[in-house]
Amino acid sequence: MQQAMTGKVVIVTGASSGIGAAAAKAFARAGARVVLAARDGDRLAALAREIGGPDRALAVAADVTRPEDCDRIARLASQQFGRIDVLVNNAGIGHRTRFDELAEADARRIVEVNILGVMNAARAVLPRMRQQKSGVIVNIASVVGHIGTPMMSVYCASKFAVRGFSQSLRFELAGDGIEVVCFCPGYTATEFFQRAVSLKGVWRPGASTPMTADAVAERIVAAAAHPRPEVILTLEGRLLSLGIRHFPRLTTRFAKFFFDRRSRRERNA
């Protein structure tokens, strides 16, 4: 993996915290030069210094919902490092509310970041990847992009959309030397849950033991180094994905039991 990433130029969106920050550091450890993109410029600058300065990392404060910001990320990456080899579309927002209690403005923002942000960033890097005749786009979806989850309706919808977009884009780019990976992590211990839209205070999922952001990040680097169409990290996620496809009624009953048990754990917490 070290050899596969040495000298590569990697853009990571949502790089100011969580999986994005961990992925940026993991790519840097693997020998890549990293372009860090997020809205929090101060955090990005600190992370760029930690990674190793201008020869190793470039911080670009940007909002992926703005196409012009994504174009600027791609332009600055090319100017600084000469090419773009990997895009990790990681920026995302979640929520923990009933659909009819979720404000329209919050729902719109989730869709804009989680779907349009992915499309904007992909559109920005594609001309350069096509010119190179190479590149990898890793779109971060989720296990809940395979099966709907209570209290996460809009987030789930956005991750279903990322999976569909990834599949379509993979077909379109098949002859251009560009790989598209749909990456589906499960429950990961990050700031994501504290930042999610919730009407009931801080969201503390009561699910099984989470993966660490560092562990997920290492798998993202591996997916970029050796692309395959889809990566589902957890056994639970793989079973749900297979079950909902082949045994939808049984899987729905099992999922309801699991989500009800998780809700009870959350209330107890």
The C-alpha atoms of residue 141 and residue 209 are separated, in whole angstroms, by: 20
What is the phi-psi region of residue 137: left when phi exceeds 0, alpha when psi lies from -120 to 50, beta otherwise?
beta
Q: Which of 212, 256, 263, 208 is nearest to 236 (CA)?
A: 208
155 is catalytic: yes
Cα–Cα distance, 245 to 258 (Å, whole number): 18
Closest by CA position to 24, among listed 1, 58, 55:
58
Terminal Cα distance for the chain, rounded: 40
Return left, alpha or beta for 32; rule: phi > 0 is left, psi -120 to 50 is alpha, else beta.
beta
Choice among 155, 160, 183, 193 that is catalytic: 155
Positions annotated as catalytic residues are 155
